[in-house]
Chains A and B, each alone.
Chain A
């Protein structure tokens, strides 16, 4: 299934500037250096709200996944990907048959650019 349309708001503007450039931005704590998910508002390690943006390497492991069945279309796969920097992101997992997805699978980020919306990260097998 192609990704849907999403528009930016104040909280996501920098993140979508990143996806437009082909970068997956995550948060980095100015106090302790720990990485956190893009939507984090405080550091998961030290609770500091002083977070900066940094580009993730874009590779990670599938922690969990679901094959979603919808009326009028083929099943598609969504998953939780643990980036090599430690944060989790939820995204579609593409270019792999649903039955071939497995826990611990290495994946790499790519970006889909639907007409009229922001670029959305997806993951495909890193191979």
Chain B
């Protein structure tokens, strides 16, 4: 009996400016699509893990929305952008232990409203609290993640000399990948000059440093290698995983902005997989901002600490580069589904189904999830090959 965990199904709903549907509706559709993708009946799902986005309304009720009975695992998971990776980890352990056989992990969100004033409206408003410490932060003018990540990025720039132009190379490379991805929301090629001339959001971030906002849902099915045999899709083996929650101190000696959770969760996952970072063929990195991708590259060890700027500006990224990073365009250019953005593209790449954007080698695929203000991190190592 081989209970080694695999991903056997992937469901991606219509994505982006899709109005008139709620997050629970997207979530239910994503799970149905994942079951159909795997070639199983929905009622064969016996475990369900949900992660809700900014609209906050995907939860335990999804069981009834799907008509699932006699589940052996059901829970909401919340570690923000690291949740997708975390759900897969908990699902893998449930499958390995025999607690459940087929666990659906789903994220959905619908922050965009038709004719809204701006794409980020729900995100900005959700951060506002008129009372207490959070209220003080907002009253001081820090009322969106943009500003806190900008403070992190500026600290990196101050310490290591990273430049806005270097960050621009990440945006440009990912757009070049997105141009080859029919699922991507933004597919028009851009240049570093376009990045530099895009409007300021929160300096040092231009508009083109910042992720999209998307309505939609994504689900994956985690099961055992045995159960996946003979299903509709090639199994994607979950070879290693890890998490990290740095717990930054708010004071002198804090690593905030300088070191992310990838520095801890990466080695945990690589060790479990029995490989090193040099073995990674494809890296799908959480990129709520260009900077997040940059610091992840450093902390995983794709380049030395502090050398992420020259590294990304040196032409290694993009379809013509030597390192396949964010091959679908990432959150900057494809779609923003929290950790499901890198995870969904990783599954596609590990299956070899990337079409025009398929990476030349896919033996080991790294998936990075990042949540909060660099507070939470998850890593997965996926492979088309069993251990």
Contacts and interface: CB of A to CB of B under 8 A. Distances in A.
Contact of A66 (B133, B203, B252): B203
A64 B257 contact: yes
A6 B142 CA distance: 13
B133 A11 contact: yes
B142 A11 contact: no
B203 A78 contact: no
Contacts of A67: 200, 202-203
A33 to B, nearest CB: 14
Contact of B131 (A3, A9, A39): A9
A80 B154 CA distance: 11
Nearest to A84: B252
Most A CB contacts (10 A, CB to CB) among B135, B140, B200, B204 go to: B140
A68 B147 contact: yes
Contacts of A121: 140
B229 interface: no
A110 interface: no
Interface in B142-161: 142, 146-147, 150-152, 154-155, 158
Interface in B102-148: 130-133, 135-142, 146-147
B355 to A, nearest CB: 38
Contacts of A11: 132-133
B201 interface: yes
B271 interface: no
Contact of B139 (A6, A35, A75, A89): A6
Interface in B173-200: 199-200
A101 B249 CA distance: 24
B140 A64 contact: no
A75 B140 contact: no
Contacts of A5: 130, 139
B278 interface: no
B251 interface: yes
Contacts of A40: 250
Interface string A53-95: 0000000000111111100000110111010001111111000
B140 to A, nearest CB: 5
B343 to A, nearest CB: 30
Nearest to B253: A86
Given A8-B132, A64-B152, A66-B203, A78 B140 contact: yes
Given A64-B151, A120-B140, A103 B158 contact: yes
Q: Is the interface of B mostly helix, strand, loop or mixed?
A: mixed
Contacts of A82: 251-252
Contacts of A1: 141
Interface in A1-50: 1, 3-9, 11-12, 35-40, 44
B278 to A, nearest CB: 33
Given A64-B257, A66-B151, A3 B203 contact: no
B130 A78 contact: no
B32 to A, nearest CB: 40
Nearest to A98: B203
A124 B203 CA distance: 19
Contacts of A80: 151, 155
Contacts of A76: 141
Interface in B234-290: 249-252, 254, 257
Given A8-B132, A9-B131, A68 B202 contact: yes
Contacts of A39: 133, 250
B140 A37 contact: no
A57 to B, nearest CB: 15
B142 A78 contact: yes
Interface string B311-353: 0000000000000000000000000000000000000000000
Contacts of A103: 154, 158
A6 B138 contact: yes
Contacts of B254: 88
B255 to A, nearest CB: 12
Interface of B: 130-133, 135-142, 146-147, 150-152, 154-155, 158, 199-205, 249-252, 254, 257
Closest 4 pairs between A and B when the two form their complex, measured CB to CB: A4-B139, A66-B150, A67-B203, A6-B135
17 contacts: A6-B139, A7-B132, A7-B135, A36-B251, A37-B250, A37-B251, A40-B250, A66-B202, A68-B150, A68-B203, A69-B199, A69-B201, A69-B203, A78-B151, A90-B137, A120-B139, A120-B140
